[in-house]
């Protein structure tokens, strides 16, 4: 493997994990940080393992120009975007490989990021391959009459499916992140809502197109972890269930595998659903020529129907929970390591047959927030943070344990990821509770109030994991 220097264009725990993976592969690395992040452990780690020259201060993680300035100055040859920031920005990925001093982009090729980053395009790609998607339109609709026709037939469709109170969603096709979405439960009100969404979309996105989709209630959120290389090999690392989410649709607990028919009873054939979504995802990855790590997100309706929601063309926070239940030649897998190897042009040195799955993994996201009060983030100083080590526990955090730490307000509020493993769901749940009980997280804000964390919320949710 050629010697590379990987620029880690991210922060926090993922920067640390990438850094470790680089070391593991014998590659050089260079880290960046901003002023608010100076106390983060990823800076400490970078200095410890790479020396003075491996850490650069920049003013923003969001400015590509600064990232490239660091890359050129440090003579980096590859960029790892982590998650968030530039991970799914095809312009950034394109610029990495098209600028005059070209670098390797550790992630899918930019064309794929662009294609799968577009909700509508993904939906159309899926339908081309007969992969199930959420019933509704698969292209922006501009014409009012056409929209009404679609809405009417979508109501009828749901009634035919036996849904008693059908609801449809009208979305601005150019929108994202929950903006410009309205629901309609009464066909007569549709026209009103359509006008509203169209007006909003025109003002906000300069594009009047709308999507009309069925609203699915009480669904489970499943993910399929895919890994593909540039030589046409595609494998999967099973499924995850990410149904435990905060009110803002932020994941709090992830469990692998997605369902556990041996421990929980389902109203549908859960094993078949898991196989189906895996098969669909692999099929699609093969067809689009996917060439990195990626996640196919599915929603499963209470009747056991899966619908493809979107594709995340990046490493995800919860990759560790899939890794912890996977074995290649009896060795635990590091997906970030595999991503870097593939991103630097290497061929996959295993196939689907050599990947074995064992036991159940649970990932807890530990945050300073108040679950009782709409998950409001808590801001202040962490004074004590510790946990006992266990062979079944993997802990990922950028919070220093040897000194106090002020939580920066600028970024994603994740503090730590605790991943536990058990040989079955019951054992994993038990170990999860043990872990949460033994965890110490104390702090104070400048008003003298005690730190609020979501630990008790996580404990409470542990019992009902994987139950539909």
- Which parts of this chain interact with another protein (CB under 8 A)? 62-65, 91, 94-95, 98-100, 124, 127-128, 132-133, 135-139, 149-150, 153-154, 156-157, 206, 214
Give the span between the Cα atoms of 31 and 377, in whole angstroms: 27
Pick from 460, 443, 461: nearest CA to 451: 443
Q: In terms of CB distance, is 81 or 418 closer to another protein?
A: 81
Q: Please confirm, yes or no, whether 314 is among the known catalytic residues.
A: yes
Q: Rank residues 153 and 262 by Cβ distance to another protein and give the closer one.
A: 153
Contact 318, 363 (CB under 8 A): yes
Which is closer to another protein, CB of 157 or CB of 411? 157
Closer to another protein by CB, 130 or 265: give it: 130
Cα 285 from Cα 291, distance rounded (Å): 8
The nearest distance, CB 437 to another protein, in angstroms, is 46
Question: 245 - beta bridge partners?
Answer: 251
CB of 67 to another protein, least distance (A): 11
How far are the Cα atoms of 116, 147, 210, 211, 462 from residue 141, in angstroms, in the given order?
Answer: 20, 6, 5, 6, 43
CB of residue 62 to another protein, shortest distance in Å: 7
Alpha-carbon span 434 to 322, nearest angstrom:
21
Closest to 437 measured CA to CA, from 429, 446, 447, 445: 429
Residue placing its CB nearer to another protein in the complex, 111 or 139: 139
Handedness of CA 414, 418, 419, 423 (dihedral sign): negative
- Give the Cα separation of 228 and 352 in Å (integer): 11
Give 155's contacts (C-beta < 8 A, 6+ positions apart): 166, 168, 187
How far from each other are the two terminal CA atoms of the chain, in whole angstroms? 45
Nearest approach in angstroms of CB 135 to another protein is 4
Taking the complex as a whole, the smallest distance from the CB of residue 300 to another protein amounts, in Å, to 16
> Looking at 11, 314, 337, 341, which residue is catalytic?
314
Q: Which residues contact 407 (CB under 8 A, 6 or more apart)?
A: 368, 378, 379, 380, 381, 382, 413, 415
Contact by Cβ (8 Å): 48, 308 = no
Shortest distance, CB of residue 367 to another protein, whole angstroms? 29
CB-wise, 154 or 315, nearer to another protein?
A: 154
- Which residues are identified as catalytic? 314
């Amino acid at each position: 493997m050629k010697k590379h220097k990987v620029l880690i264009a991210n922060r926090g725990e993922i920067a640390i994990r990438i850094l470790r993976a680089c070391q593991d592969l014998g590659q050089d690395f260079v880290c960046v940080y901003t002023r608010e992040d100076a106390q983060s452990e990823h800076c400490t780690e970078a200095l410890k393992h790479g020396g003075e020259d491996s850490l650069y201060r920049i003013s923003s993680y969001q400015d590509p120009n600064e990232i490239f300035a660091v890359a050129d100055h440090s003579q980096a040859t590859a960029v790892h975007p982590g998650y968030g920031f530039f991970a799914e920005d095809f312009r950034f990925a394109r610029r990495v490989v098209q600028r005059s001093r070209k670098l390797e982009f550790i992630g899918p090729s930019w064309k794929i990021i662009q294609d799968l980053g577009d909700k509508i395009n993904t939906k159309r790609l899926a339908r081309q391959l007969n992969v199930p998607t959420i019933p509704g339109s698969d292209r922006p609709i501009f014409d009012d009459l056409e929209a009404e026709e679609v809405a009417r037939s979508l109501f009828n469709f749901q009634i035919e499916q036996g849904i008693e109170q059908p609801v449809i969603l009208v979305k601005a096709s150019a929108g994202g992140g929950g903006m410009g979405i309205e629901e309609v439960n009464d066909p007569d009100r549709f026209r009103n809502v359509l006008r509203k969404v169209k007006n909003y979309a025109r003002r906000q996105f300069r594009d009047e197109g709308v999507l009309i989709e069925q609203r699915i209630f009480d669904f489970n959120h499943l993910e399929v972890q895919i890994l593909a290389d540039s030589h046409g090999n595609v494998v999967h690392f099973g499924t995850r269930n990410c149904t435990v989410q905060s009110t803002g649709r932020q994941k709090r607990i992830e469990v692998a595998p997605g369902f556990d028919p041996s421990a929980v009873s389902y109203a549908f054939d859960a094993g078949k659903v898991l196989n189906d979504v895996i098969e669909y995802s692999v099929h699609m990855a093969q067809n689009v020529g996917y060439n990195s790590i990626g996640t196919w997100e599915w929603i499963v309706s209470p009747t056991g129907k899966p619908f493809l929601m979107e594709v995340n063309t990046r490493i995800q926070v919860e990759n560790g929970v899939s890794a912890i239940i996977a074995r290649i030649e009896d060795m635990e897998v590091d997906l970030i390591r595999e991503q870097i190897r593939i991103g630097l042009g290497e061929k996959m040195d295993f196939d689907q047959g050599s990947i074995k799955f064992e036991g159940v993994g649970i990932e807890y996201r530990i945050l300073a927030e108040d679950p009782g009060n709409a998950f409001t983030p808590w801001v202040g100083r962490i004074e004590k943070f510790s946990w006992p080590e266990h062979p079944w526990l993997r802990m990922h955090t950028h919070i220093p344990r040897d000194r106090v730490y002020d939580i920066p307000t600028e970024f994603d509020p994740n503090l730590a990821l605790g991943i536990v493993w058990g040989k079955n769901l019951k054992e994993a749940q038990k170990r999860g509770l043990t872990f949460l009980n033994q965890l110490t997280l104390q702090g104070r804000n400048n008003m003298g109030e005690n730190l609020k964390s979501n630990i008790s919320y996580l404990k409470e949710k542990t019992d009902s994991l994987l139950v539909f």
